[in-house]
Amino acid sequence: MSCLRTLFLAPAALVMVVLILAPLGVVVCYSFLTRGAYGGVEWLATLDNYRRLLDPLYLEIFLRSVAVAGTTTALCLILAFPLAWFLSRAGRRKHLYLQLVLLPFWTSFLVRLYAWMFLLRDTGLINTILLAAGWIREPLPLLYNHVAVVLGLVYGYLPFAVLPLYATLERLDRTLLEAAADLGARPLGTLRHVILPLAAPGIRAAALLVFIPCLGTYLVPDLLGGSKTILVGTLIQNQFTTARDWPFGAAVSLTLMVFTVVAVLIWLRRGGDKLL
């Protein structure tokens, strides 16, 4: 019996060790070593990589990342909630609408970000139209700023907020809404005192699914943020490529990971979820 169990668990265990634990071990190890002159590491143990993180410059990047991820999460929730509500009440058409929400996944995120660049850049579609219409004289600086990054992130992660919200709202008993109205609750009162509390698990799940990937995002700030908007993800990528400082990159990665895990644990504990 236990022999069979071991056999069946082996592939999963192998994947865990080879693809997750081993690379993580390498990252932990590298973060305490000294950088090599041309990339790679030298086997000299040090805490310098973590000490460097205390530099206000990096602290600022870190806080900026949290702010961008937080803003994106908030915007995604605000946009996704009415959409999920609509989907959950759409009757027979709801599966069609759900497919539409998932439609963007049919092409690569990278391709879709390039499409945004074509829309937003100085010679892009929006500026061209506005210039031709004579409403502006110079192209609006739509690309390469924080707003563009948040826009790209909201665009990319909105479905991740819609799906868990849809799942909870779909299960919401309509009779409860009637009962609330029957007892004198106006629509806003019903929303606040019945719908939102009952949708809380879905809201928490949606927030996590957007916030975590946004915190470490690299593609969106790199393409839409330009050099002005450096986030943690871009910082890490820079260390491993142009800066050739693998130990520091490893230290930043690990710090981000520990921060995320702690934040998620606090968030879930607060909501009384039994997930962890």
260 by Cβ neighbours in 10 Å (0-12 / 13-18 / 19+) ranks as middle
The single residue listed with the structure tokens 């609509």 is 86
Q: Is the Cβ of residue 60 or residue 178 nearer to another protein in the bound state?
A: 178
Look at the chain and count its residues. Answer: 276
- The site that binds another protein (CB under 8 A) totals a number of residues, namely 17
CB nearer to another protein: give 15 or 179. Answer: 179
**Shortest reach from residue 270's CB to another protein, in Å:** 16
For another protein, the binding residues in 252-271 under the rule CB under 8 A are: none
Q: Please give the structure tokens belonging to residue 130.
A: 């506005």
- List the structure tokens of 158: 């909105």
Please tell me the distance from the alpha carbon of residue 251 to that of residue 272, in angstroms, as a whole number. 32
Q: How far is the CB of 179 from another protein (least distance, A)?
A: 4
Residue with tokens 């069979």: 4
Q: Pattern 41-80, binding to another protein, x per CB under 8 A?
A: ----------------------------------------
Report the residue number, 172 or 243, with the smaller CB distance to another protein: 172
Q: Is 5 exposed, middle or buried (0-12, 13-18, 19+ CB in 10 A)?
A: exposed
Residues 235 and 248 sit within 8 Å (Cβ to Cβ)? no
- Distance (Å, rounded) from C-alpha 107 to C-alpha 105? 5
| Closer of 5 and 93 to another protein (Cβ) | 93
Element (H, E) at 35: strand 34-35
How many whole angstroms separate alpha carbon 95 and alpha carbon 97? 5
Cβ nearer to another protein, comparing 55 with 178:
178
CB of 272 to another protein, least distance (A): 11
Task: Annotate each residue in 194-233 with x if it binds another protein (CB under 8 A) or - if it does not, as one string.
Answer: x--xx-----------------------------------
- Supply the minimum distance, in Å, between the C-beta of residue 76 and another protein: 24
Nearest-approach distance from CB 200 to another protein, in angstroms: 8
Q: Residues 125-164 vs another protein: string with x where CB under 8 A?
A: ----------------------------------------
CB atoms within 10 A of CB 150: 23
Kindly write out the interface string for residues 162-201 of this chain, putting x where it contacts another protein by CB under 8 A and - elsewhere: -----------x-xx-xxxxxxxxx--x---xx--xx---
User: Crossing angle for the helix pair 94-102 and 146-171, nearest 10 degrees?
Assistant: 150
Residue 89 found at the interface with another protein (CB under 8 A): no
Task: Please answer whether residues 101 and 83 qualify as being in contact, where contact means their C-beta atoms are separated by less than 8 angstroms.
Answer: yes
Contacts with another protein by CB under 8 A lie at: 173, 175-176, 178-186, 189, 193-194, 197-198
